Amino acid sequence: MKYVILLGDGMADYPLDELGGKTPLEAARTPNMDAIARRGVGGLLQTIPEGMGAGSDVANLSILGYDPKRYYTGRGPLEAANIGVELKDGEVAFRCNFITVGDGKIEDYSAGHISSEESEELIKALNSRFSLGRFYAGVSYRNLFVTHMGARLLATPPHDALGRRVDEVLLKPESSPEAAQLNQIMLESRSLLEAHPVNRRRLEEGKNPANMIWLWGQGSAPSMEPFREKHGVSAAVISAVDLIKGIGRYAGMKVVDVPGATGLLDTNWEGKAEAALKALEDVDLVYVHVEAVDEASHAGDAEQKVAAIEEFDRRLVGRLLDRIDFPCRIALLPDHYTPVDMRTHSRDPVPFIISPWAEGGDGLASYSEKAIKEKGSLGVREGHLFMEVFLSGDSTSSAL
Ligand SMILES: [Zn+2]
């Protein structure tokens, strides 16, 4: 038996007026996801444990069977792993976003999805200016800062602070000398970045400038046992984003790079499908993560979210279904809700499908939040117990 997990980041949503009272999943044409649903059983997964932030890091750790309450140390170290930055004892990795600030407020958490090439130039400039730690270029606006302090500070994710004043959402507590030093770096980055040719060019082209850095998501290296030892099957991960690939690295999964995987609507959908099929020649399980749906949600763009779901369905899910001619169990789910009208993640339990199911299906006609809430026979499950149910195909394992 082979196993495929299809994960649409932030795919679940609430009914929207602009979609005639439907959720994006209901509004999108998804014949392939619906085919998976018709043969499967559904349930709801609490991927975000009580008291933890609704991040993709926490949610994806849950789904992979690593209880975030035990394994999660922060997003920064997970992303660091994927760009080859190994954290030593005492080192702390922060996610370093390039953001756009206007009128003292956070306007864009991604600096207009600045290109990786431009980011790299700005990272070089930051390293020549600041000596309290080292900056590393990642993908687009998602970069890293490694230092020796600040592990315990409270940091606000910039996508949760859109429209807020910078001085209100800096690192806390501001009374801490470490917070003061790190906040100073963020504030001082402004003059350096604003004067940089990359940003002058972006402004001329009508793009959002990367005129400030934002440090958040920090932590030290987590210690995770290999996926294969934990679950008894070998696994690979396919994703455009460092965070998910970094989790894969800490979990000892095979991390597959797909050329042209961007995390956006223009991603190499077919390439991901091909890479998944190829990976299954060597491993038992492949985890295919798609970021584009989440990005559309953060942009507050319902139409784009529907488009991303349809592309996912047609060009990745459909292509896979066409080519899977061996015994294979498929799971379809988001990691968390990213409601378009909130433009950030929410904590609602997410709808999942496991298909085909040995004991027959739930009679679902399509894959949607409502259909699964009404008919999903697996009920509500704790996120980190999902992998057990998925691999065993047995609803009695890890019941609530
Ligand atoms: Zn996510």
For residue range 132-179, list pLDDT tens digits in order: 999 999 989 999 999 999 999 999 999 989 999 999 999 999 899 999
Burial of 173 (0-12, 13-18, 19+ CB in 10 A): exposed
Q: How far is the CA of 349 from the centre of ligand 1 (A)?
A: 13
Q: How far is the CA of 59 from the centre of ligand 1 (A)?
A: 7
Helix axes 116-129, 177-194, angle to 10 degrees: 120
Q: How far is the CA of 119 from the centre of ligand 1 (A)?
A: 22
Fold assignment, 2-72+223-392: Alkaline Phosphatase, subunit A (3.40.720)
Task: Write down the pLDDT at residue 271.
Answer: 95
Task: Write down the pLDDT at residue 400.
Answer: 42
Q: How far is the CA of 55 from the centre of ligand 1 (A)?
A: 6
Given a contact cutoff of 8 angstroms between Cβ atoms, the answer to whether 10 and 293 are in contact is yes
Q: Tokens 């080192």 correspond to what residue?
A: 91
Q: Tokens 């009695």 correspond to what residue?
A: 396
For residue range 232-252, list pLDDT tens digits in order: 999 999 999 889 999 999 999
Task: Write down the pLDDT at residue 232.
Answer: 97
Q: How far is residue 93's CA from residue 276's CA, in Å, rounded to a whole number?
A: 30
Q: Tokens 């042209």 correspond to what residue?
A: 260
Q: How far is the CA of 339 from the centre of ligand 1 (A)?
A: 12
- Ranges of residues in the chain with a pLDDT under 50 are 399-400
Q: How far is the CA of 16 from the centre of ligand 1 (A)?
A: 20
Query: In this structure, what are the phi and psi dihedrals at residue 265, rounded to the nearest 5 degrees?
Result: -60, -25
Given a contact cutoff of 8 angstroms between Cβ atoms, the answer to whether 157 and 243 are in contact is no
Q: How far is the CA of 191 from the centre of ligand 1 (A)?
A: 32
Spatial CA neighbour of 347 closest among 337, 339, 357, 356: 337
Task: Write down the pLDDT at residue 57.
Answer: 94
Given a contact cutoff of 8 angstroms between Cβ atoms, the answer to whether 70 and 230 are in contact is no
Q: How far is the CA of 245 from the centre of ligand 1 (A)?
A: 13
Q: How far is the CA of 359 from the centre of ligand 1 (A)?
A: 31
Who contacts 4 (Cβ-Cβ below 8 Å, separation ≥6)?
Answer: 276, 280, 285, 286, 288, 320, 324, 328, 329, 330, 331
Task: Write down the pLDDT at residue 398.
Answer: 53
Q: How far is the CA of 288 from the centre of ligand 1 (A)?
A: 13
Who contacts 114 (Cβ-Cβ below 8 Å, separation ≥6)?
Answer: 98, 140, 141, 202, 207, 208, 210
Task: Write down the pLDDT at residue 399.
Answer: 45
Count of beta carbons in the 10 Å neighbourhood of residue 200:
12
Q: How far is the CA of 338 from the centre of ligand 1 (A)?
A: 8
Q: Where are the domains of the chain?
A: 2-72+223-392, 82-219
Q: How far is residue 53's CA from residue 38's CA, in Å, rounded to a whole number?
A: 33
pTM over 0.75: yes
